[in-house]
A and B are shown apart, each in its own frame.
Chain A
Amino acid sequence: MAKKLMKGSEAIGEAAIQAGCRFFFGYPITPQNEIPEYMSRRLPQEGGVFLQAESEVAAINMVYGAGGSGARVMTSSSSPGISLKQEGISYIACAEIPCLICNMMRVGPGLGGIQPAQGDYFQATKGGGHGDYHLVVLAPSTVQEAANMVMEGFDIADTYRIPVMLLGDGMIGQIMEPVEFADYKKRELPPKTWAATGWDDKTRERAVINSLYIEPEQMKVVSERLLKRYALIKERETQVELYNTEDADYIIAAYGTTARIAKSAINKARQMGIKVGLIRPKTVWPFPDEAFSKAADTAKAFITIEMSTGQMVEDVRLAVNGKKPVEFFGTLGGFVPSTEDILEQIIKLKEAHE
């Protein structure tokens, strides 16, 4: 398939279809309506099902049912809608149901606004719903990467029986860029013998999709199983992009839209002779601790740049572990930082830690 100019949201939808997703359950919310709209057009053409649910709560539970009965399934929403889905996500995590959840973050808290933001980082990476669990959280910074991550995300979900979140911001959803879908190579995946599909195959156990373990001993077994799986995922699936970090005195930490703007600022700073680089977590969970810990041995100082009051910066500080100072710059209200904003921060960082 040739390169095609596509809006981020539509590329996400098409990528899901290319990856074999045939079921989508969602509820309208700005700024991600183009995803359900695209799926409502395309899925019937592919013999799939698009269903507009009565609420985000219902949508995520339809995902539970479809995923639990073996289908490759997704939902999408934006921040307030993702909050509503959290109960279901917690159940899905405990019941070990693979699925893809897309969050096109808008500014909050509350109804907030419809401009891009990165204020759901804590919610996405530290749980979100109740109980001890994690999602794999993929954070694209271009439309092409969003498409690739959707396709890979389904495979990660199926490999580990874990819900995967695509954490974009309004910008990724709305921007138009050339994209192609040629690169997707489906992983070898385990058969879904655990799924509740009707018990006609008596060689398998009766399927029970469940998140209730009333005996503490049983609950402990489940938690330990999840814990082991999370460790394996951290080992195998952590993804990070290093940009101009080899000789860098100063390191910017940023993900998603913020990271691509940071790259432009780094190019300008390099022309001014400032040795600055970027560490961009592509998986924000699992977080690429090692990349930061290693860079902390040689760099003089770090700055985390986010469209929030400061969330990922906590993970950066944990990874740097006091070896070097970690500053923070955030834009609020739904404003996106400009190249100049970031360049100014680079210069300030250099002056403070030279």
Chain B
Amino acid sequence: MAKLTINEDACKGCSLCIQVCPKHILELNREKLNAKGYHPIGIINMDECIGCASCARMCPDVVFTVER
């Protein structure tokens, strides 16, 4: 049981988090543009998140808050 919160407006869509997520539950949200003009990162399936915080540690823009 874990919870991931995303500060969408800080995201630059670099996708570094996607490749370090062991559960493959992160994906750019192509439907959306944030204030900076990027497709922000989104969560496909929150239920699968294990709260490992790999995404948060890899993120250059401190987009994630992780609870577990």
Direct A–B touching in the complex (beta carbon < 8 Å)? no
Query: Taking beta carbons and an 8 Å cutoff, which residues of B are in contact with A?
Result: none
